[in-house]
Amino acid sequence: MRLLIIAALFLCLPCAVIAQRRTPKQPKEQKLFPYQYTTDDLPNGLRLITVPTDYPNLVAFYIVVQTGSRNEIEPGKSGYAHFFEHLMFRGSENFTADQREEIFKRAGADTNAYTSDDRTVYHALFSKEDLDKIMEIEADRFQRLKYSPEQYKTEAGAVRGEYDKNSASPFNQLYEKLRETAFKKHTYAHTTMGYIKDIEDMPNQYDYSWQFYNRYYRPEYTTIVVVGDVHRDNVLAMVGKYFGSWKRGNYIPSIPSEPEQTEPRQAHVDWPSPTLPHLVVAFRGPAYSEVKKEKAALDLLATIAFGETSDLYQKLVLDEQKVDYVTPSFDDQVDGELFAIFSRIKDQKDVEYVRDQILATFKRYTTELVPQAKLDATRSRMRYSLALEMDSSGSIASILAPYISLRRTPETMNQLFSLYGQITPEDIRAAAKTYFVDRSRTVVTLSTKSTEGAE
């Protein structure tokens, strides 16, 4: 009977929305991502990834849009990817914001969204019997979003309030200064929130907001990820029903390339109130790759040289107790990202000392080989800690989302961790020597503004 129902569902689908099913080849080695999944591409460019799990009843429903602050290419228009995360909760042609909220509430759904440099992700977790209705609601706002000029201005005010709240954090101000100092052409120069002058002008940009929506909220930039107590055929039928008529767009952004940095840069943030000094030391690094060794090698080095088991952490945090923390940041990005080390120092007089210790650690690994045993232990911990995190349908979908935004397939996780297994100490030293060069260095400090000379 079930087979007959599924067959009937497919007969009801228009020919234009019948997707091409592709099941990826399974590598012989043990995969990091252990779940069987299917990938279905609709003719309009929308991709569906279905991951059935053994966790009963619950379904994680993620919509990954390959649009973030990286896509904000026009001067004066930073922050719109994040702004649209807000606007997408304002209602659509067939469901007002209140109606949507009531339906999700009755379903007991946990729903939210987030924006980063390269992606915007909408996610919900709920019982499997509510999948059809929730997919209908989500399809409506992705294809038929609706908001008035008054609602738009209200949300612009909310974004301004969020910016002001974030700006109260010294770390956020340090990070903002780092981005605009290290990048001069690429859109990574501004944070996801955007520049304050652009946020202040958002209430006047109602017409542009629709232009942004029509450019990027298109099926070719979107991947739906469904993880949980589901069957692929049923999910595909729903996606075809609700998303199959979504029109493909024709806009391709021209992301400006960042020119090669030719000399070291530095900047300072004067903080208006008492705070411990902050420091970040960064070098320009490579983009995400599951094929090229440089990014994978530096991922491993970030933990070995600057993580909580590193010599530097032992010295600065535990032995000398000069810093509250020292931590690496080196995200997987579509384009070249910064390999950055953040720290907060307990005494202003130690800022230069801490900076020099961090720089010496960078330099150390341009000549010194990482011990093989430490390399093996590090990649083993990375692999198994991530595997242990995939302990529910919601966690699996959450971990998948960033990889989906980069390559639109879970297989990139398996390829990346296979690549980690191939990295040698010599590979790490070669990558360090390539990227940790003085001309690509950026150092930013933050401390309480000096009151010397003030009356």
Domain ranges of the chain: 2-22+29-243, 265-448
CA–CA separation, 310 and 300 (whole Å): 12
Hey, what are 314's tokens? 């032992």
Q: Are 126 and 107 in contact (CB under 8 A)?
A: yes
Alpha helices in 76-130 (DSSP H): 80-87, 97-106
pLDDT of residue 2: 36
* Alpha carbon 242 to chain centroid, angstroms: 27
pLDDT of residue 10: 33
CA–CA separation, 257 and 301 (whole Å): 26
To which residue do tokens 């940041």 refer? 329
CA–CA separation, 191 and 185 (whole Å): 14
pLDDT of residue 454: 39
Q: For residue 215, what are the contacts with CB-CB under 8 A and spacing of at least 6?
A: 249, 251, 253
pLDDT of residue 17: 42
Same fold, 2-22+29-243 and 265-448: yes
pTM beyond 0.85: yes
Q: Are 240 and 108 in contact (CB under 8 A)?
A: no
- CATH no., domain 265-448: 3.30.830.10
pLDDT of residue 8: 38
Short-list 157, 120, 109, CA closest to 142 = 120
CA–CA separation, 410 and 404 (whole Å): 6
pLDDT of residue 29: 60
**2-22+29-243 is classed in which CATH architecture?**
2-Layer Sandwich (3.30)
Q: Are 49 and 277 in contact (CB under 8 A)?
A: no
User: Residues in the chain with pLDDT < 50?
Assistant: 1-19, 21, 23-24, 26-27, 452-455
pLDDT of residue 449: 87
CA–CA separation, 214 and 212 (whole Å): 6
pLDDT of residue 89: 96
CA–CA separation, 126 and 132 (whole Å): 11
Q: 115 forms bridges with which residues in the sheet? A: 120
In our burial notation (b when 16+ CB lie closer than 10 A, e otherwise), range 100-129 reads: beebbeebebebebebbbbbbbbbbbbebe
